[in-house]
Chains A and B, each alone.
Chain A
Amino acid sequence: MSNNIVSKLKRKKIEEVIKTGKRMDGRELLQYRDWQIKTGFLEKSEGSAEVRLGKTHVVVGVKAGIGTPFEDSPDEGVMMVNAEFTPIAHPTWEPGPPPDEAIELARVVDRGLRAAEVLSMEELGLVSGEKVQMVFVDLYILNYDGNLIDACSAGALAALNTAEIPDLKVSKGEITQTDKKKKLKLRAHPIAATVVKIGDEFIVDATVDEEEIMDGRITVTLDENGNVNAMQKMGAIGFSVDEIKKCINIASEKAAEIRAKVMAVTNG
C-alpha cells in the first residue's frame, strides 16, 4: 500500500516470515490475537463495550435519543454508526474531519448490522412521521494496531447486546419518559471477520505493520446461521473467484469463534 523504502524492507521481512507459516509475533497465519471484551462499563451510555485485540484498543458507545424518522420510513427508528479516529490512537493520525478509512470502517460495520436486521426498526418508532428512537453506535479508536473492522464489529455487537434504552410511553402523540429501561432486542448476531492477502498467503487479524504492506483484504460479515450479511473488498488488487470463496470460508469459521467470545461476555 504505502510505498516508501522502509515498508519495502518491512514487506520483504514480513513476507519471508509468513511463507514459513508463522507471523512476526509468532502467531499462526489464521490465528487471532487475544480478545479482551468488557461490556457495560460506562454509566452514562445506554450500552458500551471495550475491546482489546492485541494492542488494538477500541471503545464502542451506544447512545439512544429521540429524533425524526427518514421520509421514506416514517415508522422506523434510526440506527447510525460512526467511527472516530482519535489522534491519541496512532502517531500518524491527526485531528480533523474523518479520513476515508474511518468512513469505510463505519460503513462496513453499519452494513453488517443493518443487513442482518439486528434491530427491529419498527419497534423503535414512536409517533409516525414525527418521532422515533435513535440508536447511535460510536466506534472510538484509542489505540490502533490493525484489524479495526473485526474489533469494532465485535464491540458494536457486544455493546448493542447489553444496551438498555429508555422505555418510553406514547399516548396521543405525547412521549413521556419513564424510569424504566428496556433491553434492545437483537434479532441476529452478525460478526465481521477480515482476511488479508499478503503475497500468495492469507492471514487474519493483521497488525498495523501487516496492514501497511498488505495487497488487499476481504471482510465478510456472517450471522449465527452462517448466512453472509456483508462483504467488502479493499486494496488495489484483484481476487480470483476461488480466492474469494477461500476468504468466505475462513471468515465463516473465524466469525463463529469471535461470536462465541462476544456472547460469552454479554450473556452473563
Chain B
Amino acid sequence: MSKTRKRKTSKKWERVDGRKPDELRPIHIESGVLPNADGSAYIEMGRNKIMAGVYGPREMHPKRLSKPNQGVLRCRYHMAPFSVDPRRSPAPSRRDMEISMVMRDALEPALFLERYPRSVIDVFVEIIQADGGTRCASINAAAVALADAGIPMKDLVAACAAGKYENNLILDLGDYEDKKGQSDMPLAYMPKFDKVTLLQMEGIMTQAETDEAIKMAVEGCKKIYEIQKETLKKKYGMVQGEAAAAEETPEEEPESPEEPTEEDKPAEEEEQ
C-alpha cells in the first residue's frame, strides 16, 4: 500500500479487511427486484445480502391496529435461519423485534403518513446473509424500496455504523469488527433535513469519541445516499425516457411525421 495518502490514517494500523478507517464496504443496491411487491430493493453491503419489500399503502389487518387520522408504518426485520453461523431459529427474537421498532422510527420521519388514514405501509426485510451492520443495510434497502413503491417521501434515509476497534474510530463495521470491537454505533440520516433518525450505540467511548463517531457516520450516510439516488435514477431514468418519448410522439405526428428517434422506438413498441 502506498503511504502517500494525505488523509490521516492512524500510523500503520490497518483494518482487518484493509479498508481505510472512513471507508465504506462496497455497496450495491438494485430496486424493483420483487415482482409481487409494490416496491422492493436488494442490497449488498459487504457480504450482507438483504431483500426489502414494500406493500401498501393498503388496508390494515388487523383493523384495530389502524389509526383513524393517519397511516401506520409497520416494519418487520427478519433473519433467514441460514444467514448466520450457527443456524438460528426462524422465530422472531427480541433483537429482531427491537430492530423492527428502531427501523420504523428511522424511516417514518421520511413519510407523509397523515395522507393514509386507516391504512398501513408494510416494510418487510429479509436478511439472506448477515455480515455485520444488517440494520443499517436494511434501512438503506427499505428506503429505496419505499421510493420504488412510488410512496411520496420527504427524503431518502441512509444508514451506516461508526465504531471503535483497537482504539481507532472506524466507519461501517464488518462482522468481525462488530463482534470484537470496542463499540458500535448504527446511525441513520436524512441528508436533506440534516436529521439523524436512528441512533443506537453499545460499547465504551468517550464523549469526544462519540461526537467524532457521529460525524463519521453522517459522512458515511451521505455517500450511501448518493448510491441510493443513483439506484433509483438508473431504474426510473429508463421509464422516464420512455414516458417522455410517449408524450412527444402523439403531438408530433399530426404536424411533421419525422423519423422516430432512437428513444421513441422502445416506447412505441411498448404501447402496442
Contacts and interface: CB of A to CB of B under 8 A. Distances in A.
Interface of A: 3, 71, 100, 103-104, 106-107, 111, 114-117, 216, 218, 223, 226-241, 244-245, 248-249, 252
B214 interface: yes
Closest 9 CB pairs of A and B: A238-B195, A236-B108, A231-B201, A233-B199, A238-B197, A115-B202, A228-B210, A103-B94, A238-B109
B204 A229 contact: yes
Contacts of A116: 204
B67 interface: yes
A231 B185 contact: yes
Contacts of B194: 240-241
Contacts of A114: 202
A244 B98 contact: no
Contacts of A104: 98, 101
Contacts of A218: 199
A107 B84 CA distance: 21
Given A104-B101, A230-B203, A234-B102, 17 more contacts: A3-B67, A107-B95, A111-B202, A216-B105, A227-B206, A227-B207, A228-B201, A229-B202, A229-B203, A231-B210, A232-B200, A233-B200, A238-B190, A239-B196, A239-B199, A241-B196, A241-B215
Nearest to B157: A238
30 contacts: A3-B69, A3-B70, A71-B86, A100-B101, A103-B98, A106-B94, A107-B94, A115-B204, A227-B204, A227-B207, A228-B201, A228-B204, A228-B205, A229-B203, A229-B204, A230-B201, A231-B199, A231-B201, A231-B210, A232-B199, A232-B200, A233-B102, A233-B105, A233-B198, A233-B200, A237-B197, A240-B195, A241-B194, A241-B214, A245-B214
A3 B204 CA distance: 38
Nearest to B193: A238
A231 B200 contact: yes
A227 B195 contact: no
Q: How would you classify the secondary structure of chain B's contact residues: helix, strand, loop or mixed?
A: mixed
Nearest to A111: B202
Contacts of B27: none
Interface of A is mostly: mixed
B109 A226 contact: no
Interface string B93-115: 01101101110110011000000
A244 B199 contact: yes
B202 A100 contact: no
Which of A71, A103, A111, A241 is the most central at the interface, judged by chain B CB atoms within 10 Å of its CB? Answer: A241
Nearest to B99: A107
A133 B70 CA distance: 49
Contacts of B70: 3
Contacts of A232: 102, 199-201
B148 to A, nearest CB: 21
Contacts of B105: 216, 233-236
B183 A115 contact: yes
Contacts of B205: 227-228
Contacts of B73: 236
Contacts of B196: 233, 238-241, 244
A115 B190 CA distance: 28
Contacts of B86: 71
A194 B5 CA distance: 42
Contacts of A216: 105
Nearest to A5: B69
B130 interface: no
B34 to A, nearest CB: 26
Nearest to A115: B202
Which residue among B67, B104, B203, B211 has the maximum number of chain A CB atoms within 10 Å of its CB? B203
Interface string B61-98: 00000010110010000000000001000000011011
B218 interface: yes
A5 to B, nearest CB: 9
B207 A248 contact: yes
Nearest to B95: A107
A106 B100 CA distance: 15
Contacts of A236: 73, 104-105, 108-109
B166 to A, nearest CB: 17
Interface core residue of B95, B104, B201, B211 (most chain A CB under 10 Å): B201
A107 B96 CA distance: 11
A230 B109 contact: no
Interface string B105-144: 1001100000000000000000000000000000000000
A228 B163 CA distance: 12
Contacts of A115: 183, 202-204
